[in-house]
Each structure stands twice: as structure tokens, then as C-alpha cells.
Amino acid sequence: MGSLGAILKHPDDLYPLLKLKIAARQAEKQIPREPHWSFCYTMLHKVSRSFAFVIQQLGPDLRNAVCIFYLVLRALDTVEDDTSIATDVKVPILIAFHRHIYDRDWHFSCGTKEYKVLMDQFHHVSTAFLELGKNYQEAIEDITKRMGAGMAKFICKEVETVDDYDEYCHYVAGLVGLGLSKLFHASGSEDLASDYLSNSMGLFLQKTNIIRDYLEDINEIPKSRMFWPRQIWSKYVNKLEDLKYEDNSVKAVQCLNDMVTNALMHAEDCLKYMAALRDLAIFRFCAIPQIMAIGTLALCYNNIELFRGVVKMRRGLTAKVIDRTKTMAGVYGAFFDFASMLESKVDKNDPNATKTLSRLEAIQKTCRESGLLNKRKSLLRNGNGYGSTMILFLVILFGIMFAYLSANRQNN
């Protein structure tokens, strides 16, 4: 749960945090008993707790398909990310990965921690995949094949231009958007969304991750991973790694703001995609990550700390997003609030200030024209329902109750 200091500062976080904690424990109890499905859902909880929680809201068949789709692509990504694998070994695996998912005996040892476990025991994922409906299997195979080929292409090619950047993001994330749209349609719950809007959903998330993970990627051992396009960063420094040095702080922030401005171009497409969804569970599944993305961009913008450590939304705000994202009114409200937060951070002397403000104004205009902004509760303004003393008391009480329940469970 969030730190006591953060809860005292943001008392409205407490209730959503408690709800999220309880929901997460409930989700863990719903893990299937069959060994292969148990492995898949347990692994899903380990590699992405927030995703594992949101996916639980989907219907059983679609939930299983999305779980396997995620794990297959996570495994593919693990191969791509492992910089210790020689190129002549890595490329054939990426290209053939869509065939390996049909082989119950295939595995390939790479990655670290939980990702190594996923790769070493990939036969569980293949076994589960083979139990999915044919329409789900075909969608997953198609996207895996296209993504593997795209990843292989960029193993031997650097991200030079903004077009390269968009193409790379399409292969590793835009195709995820296309695949999910196919799975939603195959379930009978949604119309088939356009490839253009589906791609934008993936690009908005991927570009946010690439921006946020700059320091982790540049410090990767034995070899840096460099996804920021040279066309952007070369306007500010001679080498991409120069952005992390204190002497280049001003240029680093300007480059960061340029990258955030580029990502914002996809926000309006994301709003269009989400507004067309009919199924509530699918809507929440799609909307929560998108709100997290624009919130993360708002935190990263003009923030030198991105080049010093980790910048991410506090857990309480994340819990609020998960708790309150139930309607398009909430989505429009969140996008409007975070766009306004980002707007307040724009320095008019920044080289890209005009373009940044223009993109933010377009997002805000779309949200206003929805006519739904007055039908939501702001994520960024605290209510006056709790005092600090009451919050402290509730936190202590919850801690005692949690400890008691844990001890009682062990005794039983």
C-alpha cells in the first residue's frame, strides 16, 4: 500500500488503496487449479500486478485469451530485451516465435527473475494457448508473427528518424492494440476497431514507457538499449547517453519535453477508440492504462528527475484511477486534468512550447466538447472528508486487521 506520508498528504487515496488491496487478494484467489493455467495466471501477477487485476474483470474466455496473448508477447519481448543473446541466435527465434507457441516442448532460457521462469517453463503457456478457441489462436499467431518480424528488423537497425520510431513502436505495441481489437471482436463483445485507432492505443502506451524508462534502458548491461530517435535527441546532445549527465540538464529537459510532445499526438485517437467501446469490462481494461499513460507523461514533462531515477505515479493515484475509471466521463475528466497539469508546467521558452500547448489544447477541446466534464470527480483534487489524525488511525487499524487475518490464515 502507499506510504503513510503520501496518504497523509493525499487522504483521498486511502479508500481506493484499501479497495485495490482487497481486490488484488481476491484476484489471487481466483487463479485456476489446472497446472498450466495456474502457472499462466500466477506469472501474470508477477510480471504485471495492475494488468493482472484489470484482466480479471473480463469474461472467462476473453480473459484467458488476453492472458495468453500478454504472456506470449511478454516472452517474445524477453528475447528481444536480453542483450546477452547474440544477434545470429536472437533473430531466428524472433522470426519463428509464432510457430513455437504451438509446440508444448519448446522453451528457451533467457531473461532474468520472473521472466527467466516464464521462458524456462514456456510449455505451460503453449499448453494453455492450444486450449483457446480457434479464432483466438489465429489472432494471437498473426500478431506474434508480425511482431517477431518487426523486432528482428530493429535488432539490426537503430531508431534514427521519427518515422523509424513510429515503426518500431508499431511493431512492439501498435500490433498489441490491433491484436486486442481482434480478440474483443472475436469474443462477440465489440465491433472491430480500425487498425489506425488500435495502433494509436499501443503507440501512446509504448512511447510513454520509452520516455519513462530512459535511464534503465541507457544503463542496460552489457549493452544499452536506445529507443529515443536520433532525429529528436541529436538536436540537443551528441550522444543519447549524454542526457543523463548533470552538465546537460537544460538540454536534457528540452529533449524530454520534445519526446513528450511527440507522444501527445496519439491522445485524441485514444479517446475516439475508447468512446466507441460498449462492454464495461473491456472499456475499463483499455481505459485504465491510457489514463496511467497521460498521467505519467504529465509527471515526466519538464522533470529532470527522469534522468536521475524513477518517475512514476504514486500508488494512491494509481488506485484512484483503477477505482474511478468506469465511464467515458471519467476518462475525459482524467485526460483533461492531466493535460491541464502538464500545461501548467510548460515553459514558454522551451523550444517546443508552441507545439506542446497546441496538442494539449486539442486534447482539452475534445474533452470539453464531450459535454461530460461536469459528470466526474477529479483525480487530482483531494476532498475534505478525512483529517490527518483519522487517516493515521485508519491506517493503523487496517494494519492490525491485515496482520491478524494473515496470522489466522497461517494457523488454519
Q: Are 334 and 25 in contact (CB under 8 A)?
A: no
Q: What CA–CA distance (Å, rounded) separates 26 from 37?
A: 17
In the block, which residue shows the cell 508546467? 345
| Active-site annotation holds for 359 | no
Please give the Cα distance from 102 to 386 (Å, whole number).
54
Catalytic residue among 39, 273, 285, 301: 285
Q: How far is Cα 231 from Cα 210, in angstroms, rounded to an integer?
A: 15
Residue by residue, what is the 3-state secondary structure of 185-216?
Answer: HHCCCCCCCCHHHHHHHHHHHHHHHHHHCHHH
Measured CA to CA, the distance from residue 37 to residue 68 in angstroms comes to 9
- Of 74, 212, 284, 376, the catalytic one is 212
For residue 187, CA distances in Å to 53, 174, 190 come to 20, 20, 8
Assess whether 212 carries a catalytic annotation: yes
Length of the chain: 412
Phi, psi of 106, deg, nearest 5: -80, 140
Q: Which of 104, 225, 230, 314 is catalytic?
A: 225
Place of cell 483533461: 336
Q: For 102-229, where are the alpha helices, taking DSSP H only?
A: 113-120, 122-129, 134-155, 162-169, 175-186, 195-212, 214-218
Cα separation of the two ends of the chain? 25
* Residue 62: its H or E element: helix 60-81
Is 409 catalytic? The answer is: no
Active-site position among 108, 168, 236, 338: 168
Distances (CA, A) of 71 to 170, 180, 261: 18, 13, 31
The answer to whether residue 225 is catalytic is yes
CA distance 389 to 396: 11
Q: What is the number of alpha carbons within 13 Å of residue 367 lying toward its C-beta? A: 24
Q: How far, in Å, are 84, 208, 217 from residue 222 at the CA level? A: 7, 24, 11
Residues labelled as active-site residues: 168, 212, 225, 285
